Amino acid sequence: MEDYRTIQGRSAVEIEVKHSRFIASAAFVETEEQALDFLAQIRAANRTANHNVYAYVLREGNRLRYSDDGEPAKTAGLPVLEAIQHAGLVDCIVVVTRYFGGTLLGTGGLVRAYTESASGVLEASRVVTVRSCVDIRVTVEYPLYERAALILQNAGARMQDPEFAQDVTLTATLPEGEEAPLIPAFAELSRGAAVPQISKPYYTPF
């Protein structure tokens, strides 16, 4: 599986266009069930809204869906979907809630408003790259602690808190494949005494 970009958690932004309120809400979702559950939550929280337009893109089954929810065809859901795709995101849903302000926006105005809303909430979201990573765990004697930590830091590893006991155990996460040069580095540092343990690869934001 290739690396991919998604968002963490949830976020929301609001804009006003000619007295109409557009509230954009975004969330990380991994399944269609989660996407529809988030949509239901937004609808329940905005029962008096005129429209709850949405779009989502999922890695699972390469699935994507969008809905204009009563707005003219292709003026609402499609611009929201295109905002997600333009940002290069997957496992993501955006719902744009509209409270009509009494002034018609026209086809072009609707497209601009929904595009701006969706793009705005994605810009406000924390975007992460999910990669295949491994954990590396190595135990060294106290005099070698700082140099061992430096080896991991120079490799760009994400460090966890060290464990101090009779010796020091360091644990860190780094992209799969980048752990190979560290094994001989620790062997040289410790004259063969420090043998790193490498976890199985797993996908995580990095």
pLDDT per residue as tens digits for the range 131-178: 999 999 999 999 999 999 999 999 999 999 999 999 999 999 999 999
Residue 105: which of 26, 15, 39 has the closest Cα?
15
Q: How far is CA 63 from the centre of its chain?
A: 17
| CA 179, 181, 184, 187 torsion-angle sign | negative
What is the 8-class DSSP label of residue 89? Answer: B
Contact 76, 51 (CB under 8 A): yes
Model pLDDT, residue 152: 97
Overall average pLDDT of the 1-30 stretch: 95
Q: What is the mean pLDDT of the chain?
A: 96
At 2, the pLDDT band (50, 70, 90 cuts) reads confident
First to last CA, the chain: 15
Buried b / exposed e across 151-172, counting CB within 10 Å, b at 16+?
bbeebebbeeeeeeeeebbbbb
Return the amino acid letter for 30: E
Contact 198, 155 (CB under 8 A): no
Look at the pTM and tell me if it is higher than 0.85.
no
List the structure tokens of 20: 């109409």
